[in-house]
């Protein structure tokens, strides 16, 4: 059986299910709550599947498969049936409608766009009512500017006008594939080329940070093997942004630039030995 045929069969079965009177609802609800009677629960659910199908039709304009909406609504119907308390005095259809609608709306918000929208009550109200309110205003006698219409909608739903403007822009546009060409000729850069970050991946950044901290600790330890003059020369020549020249260091220390070079060379050799002893295996090769 194809999917369409299965859907039609389900609809026929749902529409053929008998309605339940208030007394029957109460009796079945008490059987379910009192003794976990699965047959009673099933009778309540089957009798109200037409409610799920009807509500799925109200959300058909969001472009999602009716069968998927029905499945989500069915999940809400089951939740409502499991929670139903007939002693509170209201009909099951009134109670179940909220659960069915909530399940369908959550599904739409998750799947309408690849970009997840907000899920606050105000944003939900905007998402599901903006188009209806905008169409209602457009049918009015007075033609409003876009800003005035947004303000009317914001007042009606109790949200900020900026929220209305953002949601209107989102609903007016669609998802754009990353590989969409930016030029009209279909050549050149795509959207992914512009949005792609050249920064290292998070795990690479973390690894680099850890390695950097480890190497800094090794260097601090190795520097302890140098005498005062060697340490001063290494710091001036290797450990600052702008290194001093051999001539400048020689003049400062009262020695020739050749002597500075010799001391620097000897200090670097001592550091290499100290670092080699402080690291092993891959760490040693990475540092050196």
Nearest to 218 by CA among 228, 210, 227: 210
Task: Summarize the confidence of residues 97-110 as an average pLDDT.
Answer: 88
- pTM higher than the cut 0.75: no
What's the CA gap between 29 and 87, in Å, rounded? 9
Count CA atoms within 13 Å of residue 28 on its CB side.
23
Task: Summarize the confidence of residues 277-288 as an average pLDDT.
Answer: 49
pLDDT (tens digit per residue) in 148-207: 878 888 888 787 888 777 777 666 655 555 566 666 555 566 655 655 666 777 677 767
Retrieve residue 165's tokens.
């403007």
What's the CA gap between 24 and 95, in Å, rounded? 16
Quick check: 136 and 148 in contact, CB under 8 A? no
For 10-35, b where at least 16 C-beta lie within 10 A, e where not — what string? beeebeeeeebeeeebbebbebbbee
The residues facing 190 across adjacent strands are: 181
Task: Summarize the confidence of residues 124-128 as an average pLDDT.
Answer: 71
> Helices 66-83 & 92-111, crossing angle to 10 degrees?
140
pLDDT (tens digit per residue) in 133-152: 777 777 776 777 777 878 88
Q: Is it the case that residue 285 has pLDDT exceeding 80?
A: no
Helices (H) then strands (E): counts for the chain = 15, 0
């Amino acid at each position: 059986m194809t999917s369409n045929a299965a859907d039609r069969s389900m609809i026929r079965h749902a529409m053929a299910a008998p309605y339940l009177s208030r007394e029957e609802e109460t009796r079945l609800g008490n059987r379910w709550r009192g003794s976990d009677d699965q047959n009673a629960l099933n009778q309540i659910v089957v009798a109200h599947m037409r409610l799920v199908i009807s509500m799925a039709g109200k959300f058909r304009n969001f472009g999602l498969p009716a069968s998927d909406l029905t499945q989500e609504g069915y999940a809400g119907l089951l939740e409502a049936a499991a929670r139903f308390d007939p002693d509170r005095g209201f009909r099951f259809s009134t109670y179940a409608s909220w659960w069915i609608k909530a399940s369908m709306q959550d599904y739409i918000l998750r799947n309408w766009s690849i970009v997840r929208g907000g899920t606050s009550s105000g944003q939900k109200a905007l998402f599901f009512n903006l188009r209806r309110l905008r169409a209602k205003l457009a049918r009015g006698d007075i033609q409003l500017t876009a800003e005035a219409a947004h303000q009317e909608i914001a007042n009606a739903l109790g949200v900020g006008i900026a929220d209305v403007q953002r949601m209107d822009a989102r609903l007016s546009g669609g998802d754009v594939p990353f590989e969409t060409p930016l030029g009209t000729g279909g050549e050149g850069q795509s959207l992914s080329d512009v949005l792609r970050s050249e920064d290292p991946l998070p795990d690479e950044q973390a690894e680099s940070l850890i390695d950097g901290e480890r190497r800094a600790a090794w260097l601090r330890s190795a520097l302890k093997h140098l005498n005062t003059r060697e340490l001063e020369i290494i710091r001036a020549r290797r450990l600052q942004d702008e290194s001093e020249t051999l001539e400048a260091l020689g003049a400062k220390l009262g020695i020739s630039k050749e002597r500075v070079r010799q001391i620097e060379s000897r200090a670097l050799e001592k550091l290499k030995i100290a670092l080699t002893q402080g690291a092993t295996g891959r760490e040693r090769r990475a540092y050196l």
